[in-house]
């Protein structure tokens, strides 16, 4: 980590400690936008780190923002930080200005046709994150001329529910005519880019939450006493936590390769991270909940703020099976005698 | 208090990558095409191959030149070891001497011991066994009973060591013995002796493992004389030394690559037309392996910067051993209908060796205990 990143990490942790209490997360689950927390992060330039200043960002590296995501996930911050970062990166690529406030995006099946002076956008997407709280909805369109569409979330018919983590997710159907200014041509396929950035962001967020789950579990085991001693004294508990620590350490190393720009990120490193980290969630959350006993199964204890998010994030932007298949295809295409070489070239 | 885990991201320097190509070319040149490659470090033994590696400067790589070493970094050594293992080369003859016995001599040995033995080890000519376990002392190493009594000019050793890998073909065994009777401090009163395995009054009996090979042994000592100049470090300091030795024993790529050749042969078998399940399994195993390897590179970098990564070494061994046990178990479920003899041999050898992965070098349970201590739980 460089000095800049050290500073970012410290600032983010401080803000989260002060403004992302369990009450704030609970209130968000009850439908209240965490305006104060967002404002604090935005005022400190932490929602648009790594987005060029010319486009309204604050400059620096994209990895700076991933660091923000990792820290925020450790506190279960109920904000579309990942979505805003991805949307901002796409807007900057399109040469557009990035507005302030939370943004989101819809990755789905969309098509775009010229109509009069503007364009008709039709299609649908499911599980659009944080739509009710977003200022702008971006829709990347892959087919034909790759494009990025900007929509006003209030103009869209959406069915919104809360996912397992209590975060808003919406299914949307769009059939609307957009003004020419709301559509930008893209130099790359924005949908694939978006899926990859999304997967990387979720993997980084999972790593932050997993690390926090390890810390909470170790702490709980040292505090909880049964049979006249701290449960951390029981070998069965020690071994469970050792296994948990192994998984978390592996996830941290898998995620390290993601700390770069979306353009520099290798397909293999991304697939490895999303597959490996997603797989770890099952074992880690199993052990963490077992160690926490019934208390961990309550809404009162804060373990669930992390574990419920982990259960959602592992599924978003493709599950492990998808990414494992991606890696497998690369290996099979290279053949048996190139397998080791492929492994050593993965950073 | 738990301070978090310490695996820093590291990438290998360019000169290490250049070395990698050199090692690959060497292996392809030296291994006969029909050689059944096995990436379990405990299997292939070839003094000739070890000597050739020595001649290339790939044994004792990190030791100072004055002792026949090559003054290279732990990262370079890492590259050489992982290449040898991944290729399934016969490395066991010199492996222990290079990995830990030489390091012990360098750290605790006398000047005379270093000058005499390190250059021979580095040439790939002098091989060592580990003399820790005994019939009644496995995980509880401090309970050993092999003892040494003081005599004129040295010590007389009595007792027995067991599971001593390669003792029937190696030259020396660094042997943990009691030089004082047990006391309230269980870790006091032990010493490490470098015992010449050809000494009089030593009996070495092979023990067959599951695959029918006798690569480990029971070694009996009946009044074996060990001269003073073969004591390593201070008498009484044995426990501290043995703990240091285990750090080298646990952290390397041999702790997750034992089953690698099974993966390679599986990819060969499925060829161009794999099922979806086969592709996904190959992907999953590859994701694990890439991650483990990154962790291991981090540990090599810690060794390079002079740290003693005890918890990290235990962590990677535990994770790596579980992985290498999982590889043959998952692959066997998806084996294609027709397979080559080579594939079947590779898989079966691995299944027969697999139980040892989570025992040798410290059991799964002992490692979890070490990790738990690192977490502040004990
Ligand atoms: C292939 C192979 C090669 C080996 N080579 C060598 C060698 O060269 N030199 C050498 O000295 N040794 C060697 N060993 C021995 C190895 O170090 C021991 O097998 C190991 O330390 C475990 O000892 P043990 O087998 O006596 O099992 P035990 O210690 O008897 O353990 C039996 C079971 O009990 C568990 N157990 C023990 N204590 C505890 C505890 N406190 N808490 C929870 N569970 C516990 C163990 O984890 C294990 O599951 C080798 C072993 C193998 C398999």
Q: Tokens 């609307």 label which residue?
A: A176
Q: What is the ipTM of this complex?
A: 0.97
Q: Specify the pLDDT at position A2.
A: 84
CATH 2.40.50.140 fits A3-185, yes or no: no
Task: Please report the sign of the dihedral spanned by the C-alpha atoms of residue A191, residue A194, residue A200, residue A201.
Answer: negative
Assess whether the C-beta atom of B99 lies below 6 angstroms from ligand 1. Answer: no
Q: Specify the pLDDT at position B3.
A: 60
Give me A250's structure tokens: 């592996």
Assess whether the C-beta atom of B139 lies below 6 angstroms from ligand 1. Answer: yes
Q: Which residues of chain B have pLDDT under 50?
A: 1
Assess whether the C-beta atom of B365 lies below 6 angstroms from ligand 1. Answer: yes
pLDDT digits over B27-64, tens only? 999 999 999 999 999 999 999 999 999 999 999 999 99
Q: Specify the pLDDT at position B7.
A: 87
**Counting atoms of ligand 1 from 1, which one is nearest the CA of B129?**
8
Q: Specify the pLDDT at position B60.
A: 98
Assess whether the C-beta atom of B146 lies below 6 angstroms from ligand 1. Answer: no
Closest approach of chain B CAs to the CA of A67, in angstroms?
A: 14
Which residue from A245, A259, A275 is facing B284, i.e. has the nearest CB? Answer: A275
Please state the φ and ψ torsions of residue B235, each to the nearest 5 degrees: -55, 135
Q: What is the DSSP string of B266-284?
A: HHHHHTT---HHHHHHHHH
Q: Which of A322, A95, A311, A30 is nearest to A199 (CA)?
A: A322
Give me A44's structure tokens: 């400190």
H or E stretch including B226? strand B216-227
Domains of chain B, first to last: 14-126 (1.10.540.10), 130-236 (2.40.110.10), 241-374 (1.20.140.10)
Residues of B in contact with A211 (CB under 8 A): 4
The SS3 assignment for A209 reads helix
Q: Specify the pLDDT at position A1.
A: 78
Those residues whose C-beta lies under 8 Å from the C-beta of residue B143, and which sit 6 or more positions away, are B136, B137, B186
Q: Specify the pLDDT at position B135.
A: 98
Running along chain A, 347 residues long, what does each successive block of 10 average in pLDDT?
A: 90 97 98 98 96 96 96 98 98 97 97 96 97 98 94 96 98 97 96 98 98 98 98 98 98 96 96 98 98 98 98 98 98 98 91
Half-sphere exposure of A224 (CA within 13 A, CB side): 18
Within an 8 Å CB–CB cutoff, is residue B10 touching chain A?
no
* CB atoms A329 and B292 under 8 Å: no
Assess whether the C-beta atom of B356 lies below 6 angstroms from ligand 1. Answer: yes
Residues of B in contact with A236 (CB under 8 A): none
- The angle, 0 to 180 degrees and rounded to 10, between the axes of the packed helices A62-74 and A303-313 is 130
- The CB density around residue A309, as the number of other CB atoms within 10 Å, is 26
Q: Specify the pLDDT at position B308.
A: 84
Q: Specify the pLDDT at position A50.
A: 95
Those residues whose C-beta lies under 8 Å from the C-beta of residue A168, and which sit 6 or more positions away, are A129, A130, A131, A132, A133, A160, A161, A162
Q: How far is CA A254 from the centre of its chain?
A: 15
Q: Which of A162, A91, A151, A83 is nearest to A121 (CA)?
A: A151
Runs of H (alpha helix) within A94-168: none
Please, are residues A200 and A62 in contact by the beta-carbon 8 Å criterion?
Answer: no
Residue range(s) of every CATH 2.40.110.10 domain in chain A: 3-185
Q: Which of A104, A111, A110 is nearest to A316 (CA)?
A: A104
- The CB density around residue B24, as the number of other CB atoms within 10 Å, is 16
A227 torsion bin: left (phi>0), alpha (psi -120 to 50), beta (else)? left
* CB atoms B368 and A239 under 8 Å: yes
Helices (H) and strands (E) in chain B, counts: 12, 8
Q: How far apart are CA A13 and CA B378, in angstroms?
A: 29
Ligand 1 centroid – CA B318 distance (Å): 14
Residues of A in contact with B365 (CB under 8 A): 239
**Counting atoms of ligand 1 from 1, which one is nearest the CA of B364?**
47
C-alpha to C-alpha distances, B23 to B26, B73, B303, nearest whole angstrom: 5, 16, 22
Residues of B in contact with A247 (CB under 8 A): 319
**Counting atoms of ligand 1 from 1, which one is nearest the CA of B355?**
53
Please, are residues A94 and A149 in contact by the beta-carbon 8 Å criterion?
Answer: no
Residues of A in contact with B255 (CB under 8 A): none
- Supply the residue whose CA is at minimum distance from atom 3 of ligand 1: B360
Those residues whose C-beta lies under 8 Å from the C-beta of residue A202, and which sit 6 or more positions away, are A82, A274, A313, A314, A316, A317
Q: How far apart are CA B204 and CA B224, in angstroms?
A: 13
* CB atoms A336 and B265 under 8 Å: yes
Ligand 1 centroid – CA B61 distance (Å): 30
Q: Specify the pLDDT at position A312.
A: 98
Ligand 1 centroid – CA B373 distance (Å): 19
Give me B55's structure tokens: 């001649």
The SS3 assignment for B200 reads coil
Considering the domain A190-345, what is its CATH architecture?
Answer: Up-down Bundle (1.20)
- Supply the residue whose CA is at minimum distance from atom 27 of ligand 1: B138
């Amino acid at each position: 980590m460089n000095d800049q990143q050290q500073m970012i990490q410290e600032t983010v942790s401080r803000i989260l400690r002060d403004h992302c209490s369990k009450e704030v997360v609970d209130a968000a689950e009850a439908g209240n936008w965490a305006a104060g927390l967002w404002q604090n992060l935005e005022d400190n330039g932490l929602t648009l780190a790594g987005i060029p200043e010319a486009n309204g960002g604050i400059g620096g590296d994209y990895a700076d923002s991933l660091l923000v995501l990792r820290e925020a996930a450790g506190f279960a911050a109920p904000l579309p930080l990942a979505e805003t970062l991805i949307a901002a990166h796409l807007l900057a690529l399109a040469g557009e200005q990035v507005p302030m406030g939370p943004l989101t995006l819809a990755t789905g099946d969309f098509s775009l046709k010229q109509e009069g002076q503007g364009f008709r956008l039709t299609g649908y997407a499911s599980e659009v994150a944080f739509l009710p709280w977003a200022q702008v909805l971006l829709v990347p369109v892959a087919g034909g001329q790759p494009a990025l569409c900007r929509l006003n979330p209030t103009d869209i018919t959406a069915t919104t529910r809360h996912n397992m983590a209590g975060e808003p997710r919406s299914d949307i159907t769009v059939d609307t005519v957009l003004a020419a200014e709301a559509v930008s041509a893209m130099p790359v396929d924005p949908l694939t880019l978006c899926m990859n950035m999304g997967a990387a962001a979720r993997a980084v967020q999972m790593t932050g939450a997993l690390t926090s789950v390890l810390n909470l579990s170790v702490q709980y085991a040292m505090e909880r006493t049964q049979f006249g001693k701290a449960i951390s004294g029981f070998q069965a508990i020690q071994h469970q936590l050792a296994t948990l620590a192994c998984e978390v350490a592996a996830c941290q190393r898998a995620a390290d390769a993601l700390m770069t720009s979306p353009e520099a990120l290798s397909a293999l490193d991304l697939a490895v991270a999303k597959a490996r980290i997603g797989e770890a969630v099952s074992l880690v959350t199993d052990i963490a909940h077992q160690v926490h006993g019934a208390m961990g199964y309550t809404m009162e204890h804060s373990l669930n703020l992390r574990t419920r998010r982990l259960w959602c994030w592992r599924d978003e932007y493709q599950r492990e099976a998808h990414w494992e298949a991606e890696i497998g295809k690369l290996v099979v295409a290279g053949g048996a005698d190139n397998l080791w070489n492929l492994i050593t070239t993965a950073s | 208090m738990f301070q978090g885990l310490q695996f820093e991201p590291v990438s290998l320097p360019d000169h290490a990558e250049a070395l990698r190509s050199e090692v690959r070319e060497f292996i392809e040149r030296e291994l006969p095409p029909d050689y059944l490659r096995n990436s379990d470090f405990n299997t292939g033994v070839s003094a000739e191959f070890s000597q050739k590696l020595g001649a290339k400067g790939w044994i004792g790589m990190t030791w100072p030149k004055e002792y026949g070493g090559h003054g290279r970094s732990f990262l370079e050594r890492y590259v050489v070891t992982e290449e040898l293992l991944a290729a399934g080369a016969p490395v066991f003859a010199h492996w222990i001497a290079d990995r830990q016995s030489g390091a012990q001599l360098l750290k605790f040995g006398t000047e005379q011991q270093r000058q005499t033995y390190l250059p021979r080890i580095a040439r790939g000519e002098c091989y060592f066994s580990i003399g820790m376990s005994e019939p009644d002392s496995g995980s509880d190493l401090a309970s050993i009973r092999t003892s040494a009594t003081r005599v004129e000019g040295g010590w007389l050793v009595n007792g027995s060591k067991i599971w001593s890998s390669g003792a029937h073909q190696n030259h020396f065994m660094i042997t943990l013995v009691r030089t004082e009777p047990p006391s309230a401090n269980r870790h006091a009163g032990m010493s490490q002796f470098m015992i010449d395995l050809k000494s009089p009054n030593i009996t070495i009996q092979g023990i067959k493992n599951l695959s029918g090979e006798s690569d480990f042994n029971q070694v009996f000592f009946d009044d074996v004389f060990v001269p003073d100049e073969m004591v390593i470090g201070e008498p009484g300091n044995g426990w501290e030394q043995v703990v240091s030795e285990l750090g080298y024993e646990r952290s390397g790529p041999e702790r997750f690559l034992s089953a690698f050749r099974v993966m390679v042969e599986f990819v060969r078998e499925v060829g161009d037309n794999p099922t979806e399940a086969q592709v996904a399994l190959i992907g999953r195993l590859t994701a694990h392996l890439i991650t483990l390897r990154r962790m291991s590179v981090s540990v090599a970098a810690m060794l390079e910067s002079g740290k003693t990564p005890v918890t990290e070494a235990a962590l990677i061994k535990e994770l790596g051993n579980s992985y290498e046990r999982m590889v043959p178990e998952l692959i066997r479920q998806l084996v294609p209908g027709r397979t080559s003899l080579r594939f079947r041999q590779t898989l079966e050898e691995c299944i027969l060796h697999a139980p040892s992965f989570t025992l040798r070098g410290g059991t799964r349970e002992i490692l979890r205990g070490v990790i738990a201590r690192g977490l502040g739980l004990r």
